[in-house]
Each structure stands twice: as C-alpha cells, then as structure tokens.
Amino acid sequence: AAQFLMEFMAGKNYSGISSTYYRMGSHYYDAGKLEDALQFYKVAAARRSEDRMFDCLIARNSAGVLARLGQFKLAFDYEKKAYQLYVTFLGDEHNATKACSNTLIQLMKLAVEQEKKSKIQEKERVKESAADAVADQIRADEEAEEAQPTKKKKKQSKKRNKK
C-alpha cells in the first residue's frame, strides 16, 4: 500500500521508488524466494535512480540471484553491467571493481561450462532421436515382412490346391 501511495503521489519517476523496490527484492532474497527477488530487482532497475552506485548494487544483486538460479550467461551480463559502472565511477583499482571483476571471471567460466554441457546434451538428444527413428523404421520393416509371408502362404496354398 505504501509503495502504491508513493508512486501515486510522487509519480513513477520519483527516484526513491527504485530503492524501495530494491529493498523489497532484498527481503525476498533473504527469505529464499529468488524468482520474486529477481522481479523486484528488475523493477528497481527499470525505475529512475539518481545514484549510479545504486544501479551497480541492483545489477550485482540481480547477477547473484541469476547465478543461484543457474542462469550463468544472464548473470554474467548483469555482472558485466555492474563492472562497467564501477570502472566508470570508481576506477580499475577500487576494491569493489576488483571484486566485481573476480565475480565476472567466475561467472564467465560457469557460463562457458554450462554452454558446453548444454551442447553435449543436445548432441545426445539428436543421437537418441536418430536411434529412435532407426528403431521405428526397423519395427515398421519387420511388421511389413510379417504381413507379406501370410500373402505368400495363401498364394502357395492356392497353387497346391489346384494341383
């Protein structure tokens, strides 16, 4: 209700709205409701914020949630956004920038590993579907062969009866 009143009274572009959504996302994160937390972080990122460091926090926390959800490629993208903001406003040598850089490297490794596993699984699925198709064809051929001898037997028995 308070969020609604804040947006209604101050307007959607009020800079305080972003921090409220961020805090709500943090509460959901602490409660273990990661999907809900991510939704609040997305809304917070979409709202106007006057503080660029706050944008870094939103991006980093979104990356953390995505990483816990196993979406490493998307987490990497959010962490990269945070890293770029940290470099722009704090410089390369700041501790926050270095920590973000280390996280970025880890997420990149995890995303690459996940992509490799995904490609291997896709290849296995293709092989399985090809094997299933071959098995279906063999079954169909066997059924067709079983149907043909009965016709031949009938023809042969007719020939014998004529003699």
Model confidence pLDDT, tens digit, residues 113-127: 999 998 999 989 988
Model confidence pLDDT, tens digit, residues 124-133: 998 898 888 8
Residue 39: what pLDDT? 93
**Residue-level length of the chain:** 163
Q: Where does 58-146 show beta strands of DSSP type E?
A: none
Q: pTM for this one?
A: 0.67
pLDDT, mean over the chain:
84
In 3D space, the residue among 25, 98, 110, 36 whose CA is nearest the CA of residue 67 turns out to be 110
Three-class SS state of 33: coil
